[in-house]
């Protein structure tokens, strides 16, 4: 399930022959600031399109436990159900074939969450660990509008190779130790040293410092 960015929320959206409409796994449309620091207005009460992707024949969509509607899904609909509903803070839930998926409005950023694709890598200077940095609220929900400047510090038996986000407008070098999270996320790449031991990763920001340990063996 994902939500089509409303045209005008962050300016007019222009499509080309090769583009797709920006669609996000987010139910945060309460207004924020854009990459220039300019205010983005709330979309409260305005229509917004929710897309649910499934091969199940029927989908039900709920907003704050109230049934929004039911849609039939087939090859003719590209296995996609589209619901247009007024935006309201809360929890979206789609149900199909006894399974469900949710999108919830995140609160204010509370901390950074670090998740490594693996916590043990091979010593020798050629192995890599990929660490996802997420800005989350007090309930652990990713804050999809969070743009938090971060700095990575790697100590011990490891080397910082890259720290970046998917923001195409970010001109900070990918090999820099600094990045600003985009859509609440960033990615850190750490390379093993040639010596066995531990690498401690600290991510500093305006939020509490987040720490993770990677072992080279």
CATH of the domain at 15: 2.60.40.10
* Cα–Cα nearest to 121, from 130, 113, 112: 130
As a whole-number percent, the residues of the chain with pLDDT over 90 amount to 86
Q: For residue 61, what are the domain limits?
A: 2-104
**Of 104, 126, 142, which residue is a domain's last?**
104
Whether residues 7 and 97 fall in one domain = yes
Whether residues 116 and 212 fall in one domain = yes
Mean residue pLDDT of the chain comes to 93
Q: How many domains does the chain have?
A: 2
Distance CA 140, CA 176 (A): 27
Please report the pLDDT score of residue 33 as a whole number. 57
Whether residues 98 and 33 fall in one domain = yes
Please report the pLDDT score of residue 8 as a whole number. 86
Whether residues 120 and 90 fall in one domain = no
Give residue for tokens 């890598």.
121
Whether residues 68 and 6 fall in one domain = yes
Please report the pLDDT score of residue 32 as a whole number. 66
Whether residues 99 and 115 fall in one domain = no
As a whole-number percent, the residues of the chain with pLDDT over 70 amount to 96
Do the beta carbons of residue 167 and residue 217 sit within 8 Å? no
pLDDT in tens, 182-200: 999 999 999 999 999 999 9
pLDDT in tens, 89-131: 999 999 999 999 999 999 999 999 999 999 999 999 999 999 9
Q: Is the pLDDT reported for residue 37 higher than 60?
A: no
pLDDT in tens, 52-99: 999 999 999 999 999 999 999 999 999 999 999 999 999 999 999 999
Which residues are CB-neighbours of 106 under 8 A, at least 6 positions away?
28, 136, 137, 139, 141, 142, 143, 144, 184
Whether residues 201 and 117 fall in one domain = yes
Is the pLDDT higher at 32 or at 188? Answer: 188
pTM above the 0.85 mark? yes
Distance CA 25, CA 51 (A): 10
**Of 80, 104, 128, which residue is a domain's last?**
104
Please report the pLDDT score of residue 41 as a whole number. 75
Q: Distances from the Cα of 15 to the Cαs of 7, 134, 154, in angstroms?
A: 11, 29, 41
Whether residues 39 and 134 fall in one domain = no
- Strand pairing class (66-72; 58-63): antiparallel
Whether residues 209 and 159 fall in one domain = yes
* Residue 173 burial (CB count, 10 A): 12
* Residue 65 burial (CB count, 10 A): 8
Q: Indicate the burial class of 101 (C-beta count within 10 angstroms; 0-12, 13-18, 19 or more).
A: middle
Whether residues 93 and 180 fall in one domain = no
**Of 104, 139, 169, which residue is a domain's last?**
104
Q: How confident is the model at residue 9 (pLDDT cuts 50, 70, 90)?
A: confident
Give residue for tokens 């399974």.
99
Using only C-alpha atoms, the chain has a radius of gyration, in whole angstroms, of 20
Whether residues 117 and 198 fall in one domain = yes
Question: What letter does residue 58 receive in the DSSP assignment?
Answer: E
Whether residues 131 and 193 fall in one domain = yes
């Amino acid at each position: 399930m994902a939500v089509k960015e409303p045209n005008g929320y962050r300016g007019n959206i222009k499509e080309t022959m090769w583009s797709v409409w920006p669609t996000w796994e987010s139910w945060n449309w309460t207004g924020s600031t854009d990459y220039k620091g300019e205010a983005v207005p709330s979309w409260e009460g305005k229509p917004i399109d929710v897309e649910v992707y499934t091969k199940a024949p029927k989908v039900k969509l709920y907003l704050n436990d109230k049934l929004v509607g039911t849609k039939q899904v087939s090859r003719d609909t590209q296995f996609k159900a589209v619901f247009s509903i007024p935006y309201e803070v809360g929890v979206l839930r789609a149900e199909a074939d006894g399974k469900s998926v949710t999108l919830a409005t995140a609160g204010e950023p509370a901390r950074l969450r670090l998740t490594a694709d693996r916590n043990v890598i091979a010593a020798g200077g050629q192995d890599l660990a990929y660490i996802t940095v997420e800005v989350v609220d007090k309930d652990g929900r990713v804050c999809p509008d969070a743009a938090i400047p971060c700095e990575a510090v790697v100590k011990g038996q490891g080397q910082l190779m890259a720290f970046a986000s998917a923001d195409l407008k970010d001109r900070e070098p990918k090999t820099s130790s600094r990045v600003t999270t985009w859509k609440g996320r960033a990615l850190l790449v750490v390379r093993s040293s040639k010596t066995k031991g531990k690498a401690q990763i600290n991510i500093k920001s305006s939020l509490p410092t987040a720490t993770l340990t990677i072992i080279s063996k």
